[in-house]
Amino acid sequence: MHPNVIEPEPQSWSNCKKVGDHVYIAGMVALIGDKQLAGIGDTYTQARVIFGHIKNLMEAAGGCIDDVVRLVIYITDIEQRYEVWRARREYFHGHYPTCALVEVSALFVPEILVEIEAIGIIGSADLSADA
């Protein structure tokens, strides 16, 4: 859906699905280029790359990052949550999306420290500005 976001193998799942004005983004990790992991050992860098993927996918769907209404963040070390928040502040301003933070024992590759799912509603950023 976006050239800067690595797509899964065909017939496995979708990174992003748009249904009407709703945008559902699968768990994103910090894969870049030729499926290389960015920020090995660095939660902040991985989170920044992931929020960039979410921004790119929301824009490809016709919205913007501020149209994200829900995040689910999976992290392997809860003590690193502040690094995720720091990266999040670089992308979201004003009204933040609702969020769940879940510590997990591992993600699908040991070097992956964080994975983030998102739900967006196209046009909701304009509505949030009035709230």
Domains observed in the chain: 16-130 (3.30.1330.40)
Tell me how far apart the alpha carbons of residues 41 and 52 are, in angstroms, rounded to a whole number. Answer: 18
Q: In the chain, where does DSSP find H-type helix? A: 43-60, 81-89, 124-130
Q: Can you tell me the mean pLDDT for 104-131?
A: 89
Give 81-113 pLDDT, tens digit per residue. 999 999 999 999 878 999 999 999 999 999 999
Question: Whole-model pTM above 0.85?
Answer: yes
Beta bridge partners of 98: 70
Tell me how far apart the alpha carbons of residues 16 and 37 are, in angstroms, rounded to a whole number. Answer: 20
Give 28-50 pLDDT, tens digit per residue. 999 998 889 999 999 999 999 99
